[in-house]
Structure 1
């Protein structure tokens, strides 16, 4: 990520770890979102992932 927040995180308070480079040698924590389906939806809608709203992202939440 380039240091900017996606639209669906506007107004959300994020900790410092959000902006740090991920370690590829450690398993990433679950983001509780089906990223494959979310990216397909974004592509079909003609939007970038960062342009999706909270409501759109919530549709793909893993419960």
Structure 2
């Protein structure tokens, strides 16, 4: 059996798919913060980071 190694963005996207609507998610620093980029817009998910920040979202678009 052969497995294809996932890159960091693929891992974040796969994890984002498993987060249920209405969930409160405590994200660590680094790779976990990439998850916010892949959450569907129609899902209400509350993100919390290790430094206490609540309700942040994906990174801003280039130039913002």
TM range (shorter): under 0.3
More helix by share: 1
More strand by share: 2
Higher RCO by CA contacts (8 Å cutoff, separation 6 or greater) = 1
TM-score, normalised via structure 1 length: 0.23
TM-score, normalised via structure 2 length: 0.23
